[in-house]
Structure 1
Amino acid sequence: MASHSGCPFCEIVGREDPDAREVYRDHRVVAFFPTEPATLGHTLLVPRDHIENIWMLDSPTAAGLASATLVLASAIRQAIKPDGLNIIQSNGEAATQTVPHLHIHLVPRWREDRFGRIWPPETNYSEFEKDEAWERLRSAVQNSGQNG
Structure 2
Amino acid sequence: MPTSHRDCPFCNIVRRDDLDAREVYRDEHVIAFFPTEPAVLGHTMVAPREHIPDIWSLHEDIATHLARATVRVASAVREATELKGLNIIQSNGEVATQTIFHLHVHLVPRWDGDAMGPIWPNETDYTEQAKDLMQERVRQACRRIDTR
Fold-level match, TM-score > 0.5? yes
Matching residue of 1:44: 45
Q: Deviations over 1:26-78 (max 9, x none)?
A: 11100000000000000011110100000000001100110001101110111
Matching residue of 1:100: 101
Q: Deviations over 1:72-126 (max 9, x none)?
A: 1110111111110000000000100000110100000001101111110111101
Matching residue of 2:63: 62
Structure 1 unaligned spans of 5+: none
* Cα displacement (A) at 1:5: 1.6
Give the fraction of aligned pairs with identical amino acids, expressed as a percent: 59
Give distance in 1, aligned partners of 2:95 and 2:113.
28
SS in 2 for 1:111: coil
Q: Which TM-score applies when normalising by structure 2?
A: 0.96
2:84 maps to 1:83: yes
Structure 2 unaligned spans of 5+: none
Matching residue of 1:121: 122
RMSD: 1.0
Structure 2 letter corresponding to 1:95: A
Q: Runs ≥4 in structure 1, deviation > 2 angstroms?
A: none
Q: How many residues align?
A: 146
